[in-house]
A = this chain, B = another copy of it.
């Protein structure tokens, strides 16, 4: 097996590159060039092929990821499989399984066998849980076990993994000097830092990064370099700890490229609106235009219950400024494990953000659907309006609950519909 980036560099157009080019309405050579330069990734593990091939990066449609997965408090597998279906129905381009409760191996196997979209994981979760089961604590995890889990995921057909390899001793020292409101809010980051402090040893994902690259290369596993020091509060955004880790992630991205491994960079988090663009420019510069995968960012800390909206605002601004891949945030963030309804709302909010940004990014045909919608509105063609809506089922449901008295209108204005009135008096024919 070889990697997409290696093929691209050798000038070989793979069928995956061709499919992405077709889907995105750009030339196959643009995809190949993007892969060769590391500005585009195609997370696609051939061991367990998925029907949707997804390109992520510069010049492409902004993609949306949905996180699902059990917790110890809520370990039901079927509920998570339902969320997988809901996420895909709502239009997620990729799904990450972040399970930490119940039979997580079985769940991942089921997810990989049923899904149509790329699947990502955070292998340290499984490694940490196994370490607790076998050795009584995360901090007692032998570093080999972490790499074993990574290889196990790759062998099963996982397409991309989050690896917090930039959370080094140096970055932790910078964090301590910084003095933060929220310290570390990344679960993977918290596991690693506790391991590092307890064992007084460097982050094994950093120390043995070559071992990781070896696995990634063998399975064409796309690495998503996680930000264990992402800010968990607006007050902590764009601080020295965050930027220190980002610098290290930039260095690691270059090592991945040298090894013909596909790589993207993860980003914050909680960021005030006026710092988002700066964050995007910094990432693109420090990481030489590697695709940027952002979690939100949330533009206020006070919206639990509505963090999908806070995050849609941040994600739209981020995507406009260059973010390529949006990890959704659900209304339940900071409160509970999301329900299937939360998953749907989260995906749709993130898709709106991505689409709004794509209109301004010059993504081919992004505005076309909006124009078609406006034409349908002017024509008072309700079937077309429903069909063109971001989530036709929701639009249809809302309209059906409130049928208008007059054809062509809705119950907001009824006979006083501006479109109806203007048509009568303002006909340019």
Tell yes or no: A320 within 8 A of B by CB: yes
Q: Which residues of B contact A402 (CB under 8 A)?
A: 73-74, 332, 335-337
Q: Looking across the interface, which residue of chain B has its beta carbon closest to that of A299?
A: B356
> A360 contacts which of B272, B320, B395 (Cβ < 8 Å)?
B272
Does A364 make an interface contact (CB < 8 A)? no
A29 CB-CB contact with B under 8 Å: no
A197–B182 alpha-carbon span in the complex (Å) = 62
What number of copies of this chain does the assembly contain? Answer: 2
Taking residues whose C-beta sits less than 8 angstroms from the other chain, chain A's interface range is 35 or more
Q: Is the CB of B193 within 8 A of A422?
A: yes
Q: In the complex, A412→B339 CA distance in Å?
A: 11
Judging by beta carbons under 8 Å apart, are A377 and B232 in contact? yes
Report chain B residues within 8 Å CB of A333: 412
Q: Of B138, B337, B397, B422, which one neighbours A183 at CB under 8 angstroms? A: B422
Give the docked Cα–Cα distance between A299 and B320 (Å).
Answer: 12
Tell me which of A12-20, A284-292, A386-394 binds B: A386-394
With A360-B274, A416-B128, A422-B193 as contacts: A370 and B305 at CB distance below 8 Å:
no
In the complex, which residues of chain B have a beta carbon less than 8 angstroms from the beta carbon of A390? 300, 302-303, 305-306
Q: Which one of A44-52, A203-211, A310-318 contacts B?
A: A310-318
In contact, A184 and B422 (Cβ under 8 angstroms): yes
Asked if A385 is at the interface (CB within 8 A of a chain B CB), the reply is yes
Contact of A300 among B184, B191, B301, B356 (CB under 8 A): B356
- CB <8 Å contact, A424 and B194: yes
Q: Does A233 make an interface contact (CB < 8 A)? A: yes
Residue of B nearest to A191 (CB): B421
Contact with B along A367-387 (1 / 0, CB 8 A): 101110111011000000100
Given A331-B398, A385-B334, A399-B335, also A378-B181 (CB < 8 A): yes
15 A-B contacts (beta carbon < 8 Å): A71-B413, A71-B416, A73-B406, A73-B411, A179-B428, A190-B418, A233-B370, A273-B320, A300-B352, A305-B389, A306-B394, A309-B309, A313-B356, A336-B411, A337-B412
